[in-house]
Amino acid sequence: MEQMPAAVPIVRTTGAGVYTEVISVEAPASAVAGSLVSVRVTIKNKYSALIGIMVGGALKYGVSPWPTINFPNSWANFPAGASYYFDGSFIMPAFAVEIHAYSYYYGGDGSWHFDDEKTRNVSLEAAEAEFRELSVNYTKV
């Protein structure tokens, strides 16, 4: 039987981390374009009881919509006061990125509600240019 998220009975308009808090966003300070970048987002349940908490993430670097970060396991039920981390990843684009990590809680209305956010920058690590395989054809003009 699939586990269901535990709900906060009273849904409040948040975005200020009323029920959850993004404690940390861990990622390398720099990465080479095209490489797989691992992200770990730790979230705390600030509510007084067990609630379902979901993680989300997106990359800000000049494209719209912001590409999302893949979290294979994106939610869990947290006991009151507990912290838990979610591991995710993305492919580094050819630009420095600003990771936006989000926390959501599951409300009594059956929906996930955005609650908190934290950011972290990953700079672009230069990969030296490489060249190979010179081939030539020639003809009279």
Partner 1 sequence: MIQLNYGDKLRFTCSFQHKGSAYTGAKLHAAIGNKGTFGFDEIINNETTVTGIIYDAIWQTYTVVIDVLITSAIAGGAYDTMVKLMSIPGSDIYWYGALGDIVIMGAAEFQSLSVNYNKP
Question: Is 128 near partner 1 (CB under 8 A)?
Answer: yes
The reply to whether 13 sits near partner 1 by the rule CB under 8 A is no
Binding mask 25-54 for partner 1 (x = CB under 8 A): --------xx--------------------
CA dihedral 99, 103, 82, 41 (to 10 degrees): -20
The sign of the dihedral angle between the CA atoms of 7, 108, 44, 50 is: negative
4 sits near partner 1 (criterion: CB under 8 A):
no
Q: How far apart, in whole angstroms, are the C-alpha atoms of residue 86 and residue 58?
A: 14
Site string for partner 1, 62-101 (x = CB under 8 A): --------------------------------x-------
CA distance 139 to 141: 6
| Nearest distance in Å: CB 31, partner 1 | 12
2 makes contact with partner 1 (CB under 8 A): no
Distance CA 42, CA 58 (A): 15
User: What's the rounded Cα separation, in Å, for the pair 107 and 9?
Assistant: 6
Tokens 């979610």, residue? 86
* Pick 29 or 136: Cβ nearer partner 1: 136
Interface residues with partner 1 (CB under 8 A)? 33-34, 94, 126-141
